[in-house]
Structures are given as structure tokens and as C-alpha cells.
Amino acid sequence: MWVCKEADDGFQEAVKDASTMVEKAEATLKRAQDKLKAVKEKSDAAVKEMELVSWGKKKAVESEQSKALMGVIEAATKTNNVERAYLEAQRCYQELRSQEMDARPLSIDKVMVETIPNPYI
């Protein structure tokens, strides 16, 4: 009977030790999951920030292109010289192309070509 009691005590102690190890492992897993979640949130925030910066750059380019186009249209309405207005539009277009950042809106190319056609073609 004494051997059985000693074996049972040893078994109970082993179960207690195993239970403690499982609790520690679960706590470690929980901390790792929390860290992973925090890193994921940071990376998601960084991606959103980069998308916002990209969107802002695109809007800045579109704004500059719109201002330049309005200037060309205004110049074309103030003067009757179609050739001069067309050359000014070409100059603005080339300047915008050289200053273009990362964004490439497609609308300005078509608008400029359709707004002031080259009468010499």
C-alpha cells in the first residue's frame, strides 16, 4: 500500500508539474499572439499611411494639371491666336510631364488634346 501511495503522490506531482508547464506555455503563446497582433496592426497602419500618401501625391499632380489646363484655356480665350494657345498648351503639357511625381492620371492627356487641337496637322 505504501508503494501505491508513493506512486500516486509521484503521479499527482507529475500532473501538477505538467499542468504548470501547460499554463506557462499558454501564457507564452498568448504573449506571442499579442505581439503578432500588435505587429500586424502596425504594418496595416503603415500600409494605410502609404496608400494615403500615394493618394495625396496623385491628387497634387491632378491639381497642378488642372491649374495648368485652366491657365491654358484662359489664355486661349483671351487671345485669338490659336497657334500661340496651342504652343502654350504643349509647353504646359511638357512641363507637367517633367514634374510628374509617382501618380499618372490619364485624363489630362485626352483633355488637352481634345481642348486645343493642332490646326496644322
Task: Decide if 104 is inside a domain.
Answer: yes
Residues spanned by the domain of 19? 10-115
| DSSP secondary structure, 21-42, as one string | HHHHHHHHHHHHHHHHHHHHHH
Q: CB within 8 A of 62, min separation 6: which ones? A: 103, 105, 107, 108
What does pTM read for this prediction?
0.43
Q: What is the pLDDT of residues 6-50, one digit of tens each?
A: 777 788 888 888 999 999 999 999 999 999 998 888 888 888 888
Q: Is residue 105 part of a domain?
A: yes
Share of the chain above pLDDT 70, in %: 66
Percent of the chain as helix, strand, coil, to the nearest 5: 85, 0, 15
Q: What is the per-residue pLDDT for 112?
A: 45
Q: What is the mean pLDDT of the chain?
A: 74
Establish if 3 belongs to a structural domain.
no
